[in-house]
């Protein structure tokens, strides 16, 4: 179908047009990291007898002895070849680390987004159906409550209550109970891998491990999602075409779902994209609190250690995902809204 | 503000008790920020190790911290700094973002695309990590926390202002202003900017809360305001370390203050949206 | 294996390599290497105040069955155990020992600098006598030569396996060994996720435990849990078996609850300092340094920041102003005395005080931050205005290395905590660990001489002289030795405080 | 009328607003026989739509029927349950709305929406629904109906959208069709085809129709009976010939007089003898000495937008001082583009503009605000509301060009503003108000006052009355005419209403697709058009049959 071709072409064009932004991110991060006053070589040469020589060794290893423009040039060439450098914190190539850890972050983010959407959209709709009512105010208060606690506090509290006091939740130490044997890695997403392996015991272990951190993260994004859903629903419920739908005698549910909601989904989709990217980058604290072996906490440690390569790699990855998510949202938008593909 | 706007605001507030409460609480908060330091019972940074980690009592309403400092006094005194951080960060990003965004939205074309690219670069950054990196690079002084928070907010303001101006730029009154002899720049600054202000007020209000949380997050990983200055974020971050030992007051009270403050801003933002929503006006 | 046969250890730090000599390897990596590799010798242990600690003075065989030192102290001969096998089943021979020690002194690694302190510098010093006899030659008799071989670096590799993975660029197989082991240790790596977790299983063939036994646990989990309070929760709920890096407050609380076993050992090879850069005014003035030394609220700091968990190094009385002992460190005769502090300040020509910044790093914030707040408050009373600066760890170490921080707090650790070792490594030369940038010819001379002093009494006298001198110059203020709080399930036994301040998993067993 | 289809008895509707309850419809009675076509006319806000929505019970949540009954086929539906209403909607009563594009779901294909309408009341398989939908599209005379079935509303023109709307409305053969301003916003030519279609279909199916409009001509042409509403009340009901020949009620008289017809003159527009101030006589134009350049001369003006749209493709004309020239053409023909170029708000792509003998086409629009000609060419915009900065009071709006272009301030400024306000008939006490506190007519006056405050010589009027009610339009047109005669202004008058142009302009220019089709004396042009296009335009203008 030409619709598909059109969408593909638009997506391709958008992707190409975002490449300069990626390059910008790359260079900017590189420079930002060099501005950091910490010298990674000194930090990692922390052995009890570390001397000048050891520091120099590490510096040479990292290529820090070269002039800055040359370092940048080398870095760009390396990145173009898919080499993101080596992390001093883990001693592994950054790309390997990221590959290992990204599924963890993604799984968490998806789960959180899922929980958030599942609660935000119905809440938003409920509020929009009766604007100004008790329900509306209740939803508003509920959402505002969610965003007003820093994630690290809500995370620690949840752990305290559900793990320490009640013992309902498994120990908050990563993606799966340490005594559960891992499934063969197919996708890196434990829920999927366990399911593929047919290990439902394991699946449950992984899922229960996921609940608290995902919930902590979701709490924070329910508000913007619900807010947008409400606004979009209000505006589509008040629109002319909904009036038309009423005038031809469609049932109330059909009007709400097929006419109002389908149209209201569009702005929600846009926000979901933004929320997803910000969550992925901003769940540093949640990952820290829950010992989640994701990319954000990885970058945080590296940042505090002035370990350049992982931070640069992480930022590049995030930017790339950002572009990708935008692309996906764009395509979805194109599918959901036929008006887009013209213009 | 015209009287009609005030009247309209009063009307919305009456139908919207949450916003009214939030507005009242925000006012209270501002008062605390202004006069708190002269009202508190104790010196917020004077230690008293003999009375460290005492639970709330009549002498110390919110208990004492690790150094025996009065938590309540610290909370009250912190209000000023926290509000100042939030306000200045938001004002900074708003001022920059609104001007840049309006100009782009009005001018369109190449400039718009170029700035759009720049905004894309910023947006593509994992923002919290960017803030961390900036604070780490510039040093964790209050100014730098403000700057970092402002910069990570900037793209949203630019986009918002751009979109708002874009829908207005072909309005009759914009062309009329041109016909009356205004230059493009003056149209942007004197006509469009004031007109998008109300819409941006909502964004500002929501962002105020977010800025405070952001500062708290930075504190949590050790990049916050310098000790021993009282600041809610730091107090929560430090208190969080005591959750497991049952010293609940150390995290509960600052957390509550933070929560209340952010809650107020959020509810206020929601309310503002209603006040400013033209559809609510008849 | 059952849960009881598994040891789960949680830590805030990370393991980043399996080769402990890799530049940049973390402390947790050392701990893992203790279980995966054997060394020629290891330290014994002794009881101190009812707690097991390592004993620097007993060096016992590990892969070596025994060793002899020649009368002139220049030759050490090791007789290897004949029943020792690498994890691939091949026997451990003198060839392997030679290759491993050659690597230690040749390759660019952490081992090189460490072994230097024991006069071990060249492959020429290592000789294979026969497959089970190995000889080390020293240029001068050196007390630290043997202890150095018991540190974490001179691990014995399976040279055949390692060589098979060596390349022209990497003759010592450093890249391969980073992620793989070729040792003879008590445990075998099962999974290694850098910065996340390491799971090890018992090497049943290993017999270097007490009475030639195996390790007690069948399985060992070393897991990174960044949040300190979560670690406390884990061990309290019995999900983790042992943890050593809790916050002082959590350790105190858990001890008070009495459900768990808490073994607090002052880290007596480590010292926390309030340091000045003696080259940056006004700290180049000894009276300023002394003024500060008398203006610190030691007791409050010890109580509020450390919850009293450690060994204070202040508040002593030296009768005639001379150090009573030649050991290091010893409690200093300082205490909070603002009148005296003011006098010193006046003597320094700054009766009205001055302004300065005091730095500490983020990683130590939970102790350093309350300490800094108290310090600031107290110094303000004698007119010194302090601004507190909290630095990310990498920045702090860079600034210290560049000698740019005027006033800060830091810790040091000595693996081989003899008096001269401390003075030589922490008070001499333009090196990072010389926090005070001290350059005192007298201290330098005595410390260097003490290194090779074999006479115990003379050595003690030298120590006393150094300590006295050190107190007079006051280059920095030792404040305490913080405790290592090992919190463990009541069933865990055998915990020993080790020189590397990590848990030697081989020590532990379950009742 | 023995058996009435719909009977409205004493219907009243109240809205609750923040200023308290507002009674929008204040007790109306109406009767409609099956197959009858009834027009409802009246000015904006008179309650026409509210009546329609009340009948169909599609009112906003804020509105409530407070009184009266709506009897449909003998059953009172003013308090019927949700279920009953759902059964009636579409099947017995259906509606067509203004702005057809917004009234269709933008992300659902036309075919599906038609199917929705069909299946709301019968069970049909997908295939049957599609076939029925296709049939409906054929009924409403859409070209290539098979293709349109899968089209989205944005892929159709406004007229086509309205046809789809009609198809949806008749899908289930209702007995009553309510059309609320079905052609507002459509071109005159499209308006005619759509109205003809509605008329034909309803006649064929013997459906009763309520046609709501503010265009008296339209009502006259298509309805058997017309009711006039004013402020929520019905003031008169009569067949159109009667109504327009001999209006009974004063309001109706005013309305009829204010509606421009092919023969009306500006002088006669306002039928309110008390307030009628006679216009000054047309000033005698002294023939300028030979060689004097015209005030404005436009040569081969071309405007191409990015994307290759040629909005204006080579237009030339000239305009003398004090002259009024009309610019007509259907939507999109380039009228606004030309006026903007002449006002130097946008740059032309090619061509020359000469003002008073001096070229101004060369001054870029960006720089024109510094030019001495800025004050000489002013513009009045289409939508009076949209053309006022919501944050400026009326005073500021009028004073703005004076401050900017004449650097006036203080008392001089105040005097001049008051002077201008008086000229346009704006009471001084309104000057402190903000746009949203002014009525449409008042806003139009502010816009005009602003334009004339700097004493321009050329006033470009871009559809200055398109958004106004007829009676307000009449007053505004008179005002403009007076200003022109008194101040010796030249007008470039843009409009799509041929009757208005004919009345206001001595000469007219007809545009189609950015090109001049015909130009000349207005009277001649409209009486004996030379081009087919002008003829179609004229034929499409609705007219009162036999009106004087
Ligand atoms: N939702 C509402 N809330 C409050 N008042 C309303 C609402 N809808 C309509 N009204 C009021 O009811 C009156 C009648 O409005 P209505 O829409 O019926 O006018 P109309 O005759 O259709 O005018 P137009 O020609 O502009 O469509 C107006 O004064 C209007 O302000
Ligand atoms: N900014 C623009 N970019 C691209 N095309 C435009 C732009 N403005 C107008 N056009 C196109 O130029 C053509 C002429 O538009 P213009 O607004 O001059 O028409 P008009 O005669 O004033 O119509 P209307 O009666 O609807 O106001 C139209 O086809 C329109 O789509
Ligand atoms: Mg209407
Ligand atoms: Mg136009």
Q: Which residues of C touch B49 (CB under 8 A)?
A: 297, 299-300, 303-304, 374
On whether the CB atoms of residues D152 and D110 are closer than 8 A, the answer is yes
What would be the CATH architecture of the domain defined by B3-43+59-280? Orthogonal Bundle (1.10)
The pLDDT score that the predictor gives to residue A342 is 47
The pLDDT score that the predictor gives to residue B170 is 81
Closest partner CB to C300 (pick from B49, B238, B241): B49
Cis status of the peptide bond prior to C282, with omega within 30 of 0: yes
Would the CB atoms of D387 and B172 count as touching at under 8 Å?
Answer: yes
Strand D377-380 and strand D458-462: the pairing is: parallel
Q: From the CA of D47, give the closest atom in ligand 1.
A: 18
Smallest CA–CA distance from B12 into chain D, residue? D18
Between the alpha carbon of residue D384 and those of residues D42, D221, D481, the distances in Å are 21, 30, 18
Count of A-C CB contacts under 8 Å: 154
- Three-state secondary structure readout of C8-32: EEEECCCCCCCCCCCCCCCHHHHHH
Closest partner CB to D86 (pick from A249, A258, A339): A249
Q: Write the CB contacts of C472 (distance below 8 Å, at least 6 apart in sequence).
A: C286
On whether the CB atoms of residues C412 and C475 are closer than 8 A, the answer is no
Pick from A319, A329, A313: which is nearest to A281 by CA?
A319
d(CA D522, CA A100): 80
The pLDDT score that the predictor gives to residue A186 is 84
Other CB atoms within 10 A of residue B138 CB: 16
How many angstroms does the Cα of residue B196 sit away from the middle of ligand 2? 26
pLDDT at B4 over 70: no
The pLDDT score that the predictor gives to residue A145 is 84
pLDDT at D103 over 60: yes
The pLDDT score that the predictor gives to residue C31 is 92
Average pLDDT, chain B: 85
Angle at A293 (CA atoms; ends A292, A295), nearest 5 degrees: 110
On whether the CB atoms of residues C265 and C497 are closer than 8 A, the answer is yes
C366 interface with B at CB cutoff 8 Å: yes
- The mean pLDDT value for A24-47 works out to 79
d(CA C218, CA C204): 9
In the block, which residue shows the tokens 């008590």?
A: C186
Q: E strand or H helix at C357, and its extent?
A: strand C355-361
How many angstroms does the Cα of residue D510 sit away from the middle of ligand 2? 16
For residue range B119-158, list pLDDT tens digits in order.
888 888 888 888 888 888 888 788 999 999 898 889 889 9
Which ligand has its closest atom nearest to the C-alpha of D15?
1
How many CA atoms does the CB half-sphere of C197 hold within 13 Å?
23
Question: Domain spans of chain B?
Answer: 3-43+59-280
d(CA C115, CA C129): 22
How many angstroms does the Cα of residue D332 sit away from the middle of ligand 4? 7
The pLDDT score that the predictor gives to residue D1 is 44
pLDDT at A121 over 90: yes
pLDDT at C100 over 90: yes
CATH H superfamily, domain A94-336: MetI-like (1.10.3720.10)
Pick from B203, B201, B210, B227: which is nearest to B131 by CA?
B210
pLDDT band (50, 70, 90) for residue D547: very low
B181 interface with D at CB cutoff 8 Å: yes
The pLDDT score that the predictor gives to residue D275 is 58
CATH class, D296-501+515-540 region: alpha beta
Between the alpha carbon of residue C4 and those of residues B33, C191, C217, C241, the distances in Å are 56, 20, 8, 10
For residue range A58-93, list pLDDT tens digits in order.
777 777 788 888 888 888 888 888 888 888 777 788
C259 interface with A at CB cutoff 8 Å: no
Which residue minimizes the CA distance to atom 26 of ligand 1?
D44
For residue range C379-423, list pLDDT tens digits in order.
999 999 999 998 888 888 888 888 999 999 999 988 888 898 899
Furthest-apart CA atoms within chain C: distance in Å: 73
The pLDDT score that the predictor gives to residue B196 is 86
pLDDT at A102 over 50: yes
For residue range C485-496, list pLDDT tens digits in order.
999 999 999 999
Count of A-D CB contacts under 8 Å: 84
- The mean pLDDT value for A292-312 works out to 86
Average pLDDT, chain D: 87
C110 interface with A at CB cutoff 8 Å: yes
Residue bearing the bigger pLDDT, C231 or D273: C231
Q: Is C20 left (phi over 0), alpha (psi -120 to 50) or beta?
A: alpha
The pLDDT score that the predictor gives to residue D2 is 53
Q: Partners for A (CB, 8 Å, 3+ pairs)?
A: B, C, D
Between the alpha carbon of residue D31 and those of residues D34, D49, D210, D237, the distances in Å are 10, 17, 11, 11
The pLDDT score that the predictor gives to residue B18 is 79
- The mean pLDDT value for A107-136 works out to 91
Q: Write the CB contacts of B187 (distance below 8 Å, at least 6 apart in sequence).
A: B106, B174, B177, B178
Question: Domain spans of chain A?
Answer: 3-80, 94-336
Q: From the CA of D98, give the closest atom in ligand 1.
A: 27
- The mean pLDDT value for B76-95 works out to 91
Other CB atoms within 10 A of residue C8 CB: 26
Instruction: Say what the pTM is.
Output: 0.86
d(CA C118, CA C138): 9
For residue range D40-58, list pLDDT tens digits in order.
998 888 899 999 999 988 8
Alpha-carbon dihedral D331, D336, D337, D340, rounded to 10 degrees: -170
Would the CB atoms of A248 and D117 count as touching at under 8 Å?
Answer: yes
Angle at C37 (CA atoms; ends C33, C40), nearest 5 degrees: 120
3-state secondary structure of D483: helix
- The secondary structure of D401-437 as a DSSP string is HHHHHH---HHHHHHHHHHHHHHTT--GGGGG--GGG
Other CB atoms within 10 A of residue D407 CB: 8
The pLDDT score that the predictor gives to residue D544 is 63
Would the CB atoms of B266 and A148 count as touching at under 8 Å?
Answer: yes
The pLDDT score that the predictor gives to residue A343 is 42
Is the beta carbon of D337 within 6 A of some atom in ligand 2? yes
- Chain D residues with CB under 8 Å of a chain B CB are 17-19, 340, 343, 345, 365-366, 369-370, 374-375, 377-379, 381-383, 386-392, 400-401, 404-405, 434, 436-437, 447, 450-451
For residue range C174-210, list pLDDT tens digits in order.
989 988 999 999 999 999 988 888 999 999 999 888 8
pLDDT at A295 over 80: yes
- The mean pLDDT value for B235-261 works out to 86
The two structure tokens encoding residue B181: 């002899």
For residue D279, give how far its alpha carbon lies from the nearest alpha carbon of chain A (Å).
44
Q: Write the CB contacts of C257 (distance below 8 Å, at least 6 apart in sequence).
A: C236
C193: phi then psi, degrees, rounded to nearest 5: -115, 105
Residue bearing the bigger pLDDT, A128 or D437: A128
On whether the CB atoms of residues D53 and D63 are closer than 8 A, the answer is yes
The pLDDT score that the predictor gives to residue D548 is 35
B195 interface with D at CB cutoff 8 Å: yes
* Interface predicted TM-score of the whole assembly (ipTM), two decimals: 0.83
Winning range, highest mean pLDDT, from B181-190, C88-97, D58-67 = C88-97
Residues 93 to 152 of A: which have CB under 8 A from any C CB? 97, 100
The two structure tokens encoding residue B109: 């074309």
Burial D207-246 (b: 16+ CB within 10 A, else e): bbbbbbbbbbbbbbbbbebbbbbbebebbbbbebeebbee
C390 interface with B at CB cutoff 8 Å: yes
The pLDDT score that the predictor gives to residue B280 is 47
Q: Which residues of C touch A297 (CB under 8 A)?
A: 226
The pLDDT score that the predictor gives to residue A341 is 56
How many angstroms does the Cα of residue A258 sit away from the middle of ligand 1? 28
Question: Domain spans of chain D?
Answer: 296-501+515-540
Any contact of D with C, at least 3 CB pairs below 8 A?
no
Would the CB atoms of C6 and A179 count as touching at under 8 Å?
Answer: yes
The pLDDT score that the predictor gives to residue D272 is 60
3-state secondary structure of C301: helix
- The secondary structure of D254-313 as a DSSP string is HHHHHS--TT--GGGS---TTTPPPPPPPPPPPPPPTTPPPSEEEEEEEEE-TTS-EEEE
Between the alpha carbon of residue D380 and those of residues A276, D409, D423, D441, the distances in Å are 48, 23, 16, 13
d(CA B48, CA C304): 10
On whether the CB atoms of residues B119 and B158 are closer than 8 A, the answer is yes
pLDDT at D546 over 60: no
The pLDDT score that the predictor gives to residue C442 is 93
For residue range D404-447, list pLDDT tens digits in order.
888 888 899 999 999 999 888 888 898 988 888 888 888 988 99
- The mean pLDDT value for D387-395 works out to 88
d(CA B146, CA B155): 15
Smallest CA–CA distance from A98 into chain C, residue? C194
pLDDT band (50, 70, 90) for residue B217: confident
- The mean pLDDT value for D75-94 works out to 89
The pLDDT score that the predictor gives to residue D242 is 86
pLDDT at D66 over 70: yes
Residue bearing the bigger pLDDT, D284 or D153: D153
A295 interface with B at CB cutoff 8 Å: no
pLDDT at C136 over 90: yes
How many angstroms does the Cα of residue D424 sit away from the middle of ligand 3? 28
The pLDDT score that the predictor gives to residue C475 is 94
Average pLDDT, chain A: 85
The pLDDT score that the predictor gives to residue C10 is 94
- The secondary structure of B122-151 as a DSSP string is HHHS-HHHHHHHHHHHH-S-HHHHHHHHHH
- The mean pLDDT value for C433-457 works out to 90
d(CA D162, CA D99): 8
The pLDDT score that the predictor gives to residue B282 is 35
On whether the CB atoms of residues C13 and A90 are closer than 8 A, the answer is no
């Amino acid at each position: 179908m030409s619709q598909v071709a059109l969408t593909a072409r638009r997506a391709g064009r958008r992707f190409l047009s975002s490449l300069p932004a990626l390059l910008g991110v790359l260079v900017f991060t590189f420079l930002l990291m060099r501005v950091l006053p910490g010298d990674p070589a000194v930090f990692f040469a922390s052995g009890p007898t570390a001397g000048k020589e050891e520091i120099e060794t590490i510096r040479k290893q990292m290529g820090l002895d070269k002039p800055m423009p040359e370092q940048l040039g080398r870095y760009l060439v390396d990145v173009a070849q898919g080499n993101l450098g080596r992390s001093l914190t883990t001693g592994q190539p950054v790309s390997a680390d990221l590959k290992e850890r990204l599924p963890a972050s993604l799984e968490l983010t998806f789960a959180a987004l899922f929980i958030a959407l599942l609660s935000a959209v119905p809440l938003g709709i409920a509020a929009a159906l009766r604007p100004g009512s008790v329900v509306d105010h209740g939803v508003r208060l509920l959402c505002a409550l969610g965003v007003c606690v820093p994630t690290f506090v809500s995370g620690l509290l949840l752990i305290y209550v559900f793990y320490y006091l009640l013992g309902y939740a498994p120990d908050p130490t990563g993606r799966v109970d340490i005594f559960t044997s891992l499934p063969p890695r197919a996708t890196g997403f434990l829920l999927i891998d366990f399911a593929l392996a047919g290990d439902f015991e394991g699946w449950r272990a992984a899922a229960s491990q996921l609940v608290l951190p995902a919930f902590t993260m979701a709490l924070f994004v329910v508000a913007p999602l619900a807010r947008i859903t409400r606004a979009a629903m209000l505006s589509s419920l008040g629109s002319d075409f909904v009036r038309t739908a009423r005038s031809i005698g469609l049932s109330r549910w059909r009007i709400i779902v097929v006419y109002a909601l389908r149209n209201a989904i569009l702005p929600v989709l846009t926000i979901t994209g933004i929320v997803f990217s910000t969550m992925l980058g901003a769940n540093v604290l949640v990952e820290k609190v829950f010992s989640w072996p994701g990319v954000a906490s990885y970058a945080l440690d590296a940042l505090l250690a002035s370990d350049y390569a992982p931070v640069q790699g992480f930022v590049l990855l995030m930017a790339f995902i950002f572009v990708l998510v935008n692309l996906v949202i764009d395509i979805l938008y194109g599918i959901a809204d036929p008006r887009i593909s013209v213009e | 503000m015209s009287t009609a706007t005030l009247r309209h605001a009063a009307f919305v507030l009456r139908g919207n008790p949450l916003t009214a409460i939030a507005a009242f609480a925000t006012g209270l908060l501002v008062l605390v920020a202004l006069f708190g330091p002269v009202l508190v019972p104790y010196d917020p940074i004077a230690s008293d190790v003999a009375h460290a980690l005492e639970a709330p009592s009549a002498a110390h309403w919110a208990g004492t911290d690790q150094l025996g400092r009065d938590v309540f006094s610290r909370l009250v005194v912190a209000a000023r700094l926290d509000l100042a951080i939030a306000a200045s960060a938001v004002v900074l990003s708003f001022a920059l973002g609104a001007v840049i965004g309006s100009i782009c939205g009005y001018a369109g074309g190449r400039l718009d695309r170029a700035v759009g690219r720049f905004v894309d670069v910023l947006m593509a950054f994992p923002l919290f990590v960017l803030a961390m990196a900036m604070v780490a690079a510039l040093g964790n002084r209050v100014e730098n926390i403000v700057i970092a928070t402002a910069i990570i907010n900037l793209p949203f303001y630019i986009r918002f202002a751009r979109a708002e101006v874009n829908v207005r730029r072909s309005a009759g009154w914009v062309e009329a202003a041109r016909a009356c002899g205004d230059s493009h720049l003056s149209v942007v600054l004197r006509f469009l900017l004031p007109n998008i202000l109300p819409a941006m007020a909502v964004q500002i209000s929501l962002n105020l809360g977010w800025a405070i949380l952001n500062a708290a997050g930075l504190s949590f990983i050790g990049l916050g305001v310098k000790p021993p200055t009282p600041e809610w974020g730091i107090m929560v971050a430090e208190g969080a370390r005591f959750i497991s030992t049952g010293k609940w007051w150390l995290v509960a009270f600052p957390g509550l203050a933070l929560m209340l403050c952010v809650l107020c801003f959020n509810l206020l933002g929601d309310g503002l949206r209603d006040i400013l929503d033209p559809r609510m006006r008849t | 294996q059952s849960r009881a046969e598994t040891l789960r250890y949680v830590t805030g730090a990370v393991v980043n390599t399996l080769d402990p000599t890799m530049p940049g390897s973390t402390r947790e990596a050392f701990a893992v290497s203790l279980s995966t590799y054997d060394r020629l010798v290891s330290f014994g242990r002794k009881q101190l105040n009812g707690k097991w600690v390592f004993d620097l003075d007993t060096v016992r065989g590990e892969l070596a069955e025994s060793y002899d030192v020649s009368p002139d102290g220049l030759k050490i001969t090791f007789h290897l155990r004949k029943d020792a096998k690498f994890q691939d089943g091949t026997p451990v021979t003198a060839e392997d020992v030679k290759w491993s020690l050659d690597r230690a002194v040749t390759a660019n690694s952490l081992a090189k600098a460490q072994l230097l302190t024991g006069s071990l510098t060249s492959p020429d010093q290592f000789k294979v006598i026969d497959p089970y006899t190995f000889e080390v030659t020293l240029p001068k008799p050196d007390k630290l030569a043997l202890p150095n071989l018991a540190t974490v670096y001179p691990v014995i590799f399976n040279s055949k396996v390692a060589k098979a993975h060596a390349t022209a660029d990497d003759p010592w197989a450093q890249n391969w060994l980073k992620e793989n082991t070729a040792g003879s240790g008590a445990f075998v790596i099962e999974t290694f996720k850098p910065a996340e977790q390491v799971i090890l299983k018992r090497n049943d063939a290993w017999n270097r435990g007490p009475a030639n036994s195996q390790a007690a646990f069948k399985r060992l989990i070393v897991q990174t849990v960044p949040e300190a309070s979560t670690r406390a929760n884990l061990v309290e709920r019995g999900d983790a078996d042992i943890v050593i890096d809790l916050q002082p407050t959590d350790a105190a609380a858990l001890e008070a609850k009495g459900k768990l076993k808490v073994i607090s050992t002052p880290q007596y090879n480590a010292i926390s300092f309030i340091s000045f850069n003696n080259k940056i005014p006004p700290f180049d003035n000894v009276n300023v340094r002394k003024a500060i030394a008398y203006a610190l609220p030691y007791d409050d700091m010890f109580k509020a920041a450390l919850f009293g968990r450690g060994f204070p190094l202040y508040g002593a009385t030296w009768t005639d102003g001379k150090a009573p002992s030649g050991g290091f460190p010893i409690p200093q005769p300082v205490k909070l005395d603002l009148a005296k502090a003011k006098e010193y300040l006046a003597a320094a020509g700054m009766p009205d005080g001055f302004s300065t910044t005091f730095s500490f790093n983020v990683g130590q914030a939970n102790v350093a931050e309350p300490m800094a707040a108290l310090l600031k408050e107290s110094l303000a009373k004698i007119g010194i205005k302090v601004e507190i600066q909290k630095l990310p760890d990498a920045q702090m170490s860079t600034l210290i290395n560049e000698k740019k921080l005027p006033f800060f707090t830091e810790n040091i650790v000595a693996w081989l905590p003899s008096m001269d070792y401390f003075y030589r490594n922490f008070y001499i030369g333009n090196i990072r660990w010389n926090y005070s940038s001290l350059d005192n010819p007298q201290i330098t001379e005595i410390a260097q001489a003490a290194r090779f002093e074999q006479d115990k009494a003379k050595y003690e006298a030298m120590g006393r002289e150094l300590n006295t001198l050190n107190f007079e110059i006051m280059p920095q203020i030792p404040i305490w030795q913080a405790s290592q709080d090992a919190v463990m399930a009541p069933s865990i036994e055998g915990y020993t405080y080790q020189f590397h301040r990590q848990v030697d998993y081989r020590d532990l067993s379950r009742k | 009328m023995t058996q009435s289809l719909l009977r409205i008895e004493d219907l009243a509707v109240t809205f609750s607003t923040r200023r308290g309850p507002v009674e929008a419809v204040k007790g109306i009675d109406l009767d409609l026989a099956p197959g009858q076509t009834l027009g409802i006319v009246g000015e904006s806000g008179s309650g026409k739509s509210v009546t329609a929505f009340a009948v169909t019970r599609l009112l906003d949540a804020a509105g409530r029927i407070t009184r009266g009954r709506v009897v449909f086929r003998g059953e009172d539906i003013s308090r019927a349950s949700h279920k009953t209403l759902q059964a009636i909607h579409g099947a017995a009563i259906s509606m067509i709305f203004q702005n057809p594009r917004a009234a269709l779901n933008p992300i659902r294909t036309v075919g599906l929406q038609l199917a929705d309408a069909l299946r709301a009341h019968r069970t049909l398989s997908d295939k049957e629904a599609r076939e029925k939908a296709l049939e409906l599209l054929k009924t409403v005379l859409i070209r290539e109906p098979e293709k349109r079935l899968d089209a989205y509303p944005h892929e159709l023109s406004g007229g086509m959208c309205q046809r789809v709307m009609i198809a949806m409305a008749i899908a289930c053969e209702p007995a009553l069709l309510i059309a609320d301003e079905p052609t507002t916003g459509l071109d005159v030519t499209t308006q005619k085809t759509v109205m003809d279609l509605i008329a034909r279909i309803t006649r064929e199916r013997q459906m009763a129709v309520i046609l709501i409009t503010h265009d008296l001509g339209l009502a006259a042409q298509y309805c058997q009976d017309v009711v006039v509403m004013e402020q929520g009340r019905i003031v008169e009901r009569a067949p159109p010939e009667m109504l327009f020949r001999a209006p009974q009620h004063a309001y109706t008289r005013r309305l009829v007089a204010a509606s421009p017809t092919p023969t009306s003159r500006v002088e006669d527009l306002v039928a309110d003898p008390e307030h009628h101030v006679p216009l000054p006589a047309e000033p005698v134009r002294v023939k300028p000495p030979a060689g004097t350049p015209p005030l404005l001369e436009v040569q081969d003006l071309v405007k191409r937008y990015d994307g290759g749209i040629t909005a204006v493709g080579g237009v030339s004309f000239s305009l003398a001082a004090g002259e009024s020239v009309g610019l007509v053409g259907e939507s999109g023909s380039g009228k606004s583009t030309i006026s903007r170029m002449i006002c130097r708000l946008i740059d032309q792509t090619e061509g020359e503009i000469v003002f008073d003998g001096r070229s101004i086409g060369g001054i870029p629009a960006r720089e024109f605000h510094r030019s001495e000609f800025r004050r000489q060419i002013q513009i009045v915009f289409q939508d009076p509301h949209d053309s006022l900065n919501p944050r400026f009071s009326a005073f500021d709006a009028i004073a703005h060009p004076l401050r900017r272009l004449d650097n006036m301030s203080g008392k001089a400024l105040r005097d001049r503003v008051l002077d201008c306000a008086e000229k346009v008939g704006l009471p001084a006490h309104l000057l402190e108000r903000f746009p949203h506190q002014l009525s449409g007519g008042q806003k139009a006056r502010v816009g005009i006052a602003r334009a004339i405050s700097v004493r321009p010589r050329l006033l470009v009027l871009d559809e200055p009355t398109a958004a106004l009610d007829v009676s307000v339009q009449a007053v505004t047109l008179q005002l403009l005419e007076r200003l022109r005669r008194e101040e010796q202004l030249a007008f470039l008058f843009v409009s799509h209403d041929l009757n208005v142009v004919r009345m206001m302009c001595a000469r007219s220019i007809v545009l189609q697709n950015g090109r001049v089709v015909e130009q000349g004396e207005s009277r001649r042009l409209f009486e004996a058009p030379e081009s087919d296009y002008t003829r179609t335009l004229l034929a499409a203008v609705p007219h009162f049959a036999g009106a004087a």
